[in-house]
Structure 1
Amino acid sequence: MFNAGLLLAVEEAPGEETDEPEPPKSCMKRKPGRRFRHALTGLYIHDSGEQQILWPTIDDGRNTVELSETPGDHCYWEEVKGNGCKHYRNVVTNRFLGFDPSKNRVHTEASPSASEEWLLLVDQTDQSHKRAVIIQNKHSGLYLAVQNGHFIGLTAYDEECKWFLE
């Protein structure tokens, strides 16, 4: 009878056992939030930190939100649970992402209101194996999209509404 187990046994060479200190465990820093990168353009949602001046005599307390080619610190958004919605607070400016459907403009405000309520929907049609989402403003029902390098709210979903979470 042949025993294969004996052929597979490997003898370890005798060696000195030394007590070496365990290497320090790396501290994993958790990202403070997430970035939204537009699927078609590769642009990021970026809070400029600059206040919008609509009229010289009116100060509505809103900051400008832009599209950025590079993912800087102002592109990180922390998710805050709302009442049947999500709010997205910029981790640098601590202001909430909002949308004004009458002006078709994205902005940030110091405190969340109806225009800062969002629904984050999974894009079931995406085949990229990335975390593709659709961002819908709850108050207006419009989908956040990018056309010609500018934000726009669309009434129906299309490829311009697709964002990747990073």
Structure 2
Amino acid sequence: MSKPDFISWTQSHLGAFYEAREDEVFANAFDAAFSPSCEVRVNHAPSTLDALRESVSSRKVATRGVALSWENLISTGDSPDQPSVVAGTLIVTRSMMFLIRAAPAHRLTHINFSARVELPEDSNVQADGNDDRRRITSLYLTSVDIVPPIHFATPHPVSQEERE
């Protein structure tokens, strides 16, 4: 079985935990994506894998659904056995459980990321379901949360012709 390219691997592994609805599915997807010793930087500040896990998990509260949009993905590697850096933009659109003007409220998270994907030196890392031991060993991300504008109907005067 051929191994997927680094961009597809990164999209499927990052996407899996952002889209996960159940806590157990989220935890398994998160663990399948990251090496336990992964270096994490969020908005240029050192962070931890546990802090990243909590941040992503806490954003699932009151979420009805998630849509992912990937932009400008690039990869430095072409050999599955060698490390590669995958970088790009991920836009996470969350549909909330509450309504605004009879439609679900939305929250957008724009994430610019750079992830080093490689076979970790830690021999305790288990292969995922596809017999793939690759993991993200370094993650740099910059993210910002955006609330899209609410579009209100603009009233206009009714002309005499429209009334008749």
Structures share fold, TM-score greater than 0.5: no
Q: TM-score, normalised by structure 1?
A: 0.25
Structure having the larger proportion of residues in helix: 2
TM-score where L is the length of structure 2: 0.26
Highest Rg: 1 or 2?
A: 1
Q: Which has the higher strand share?
A: 2
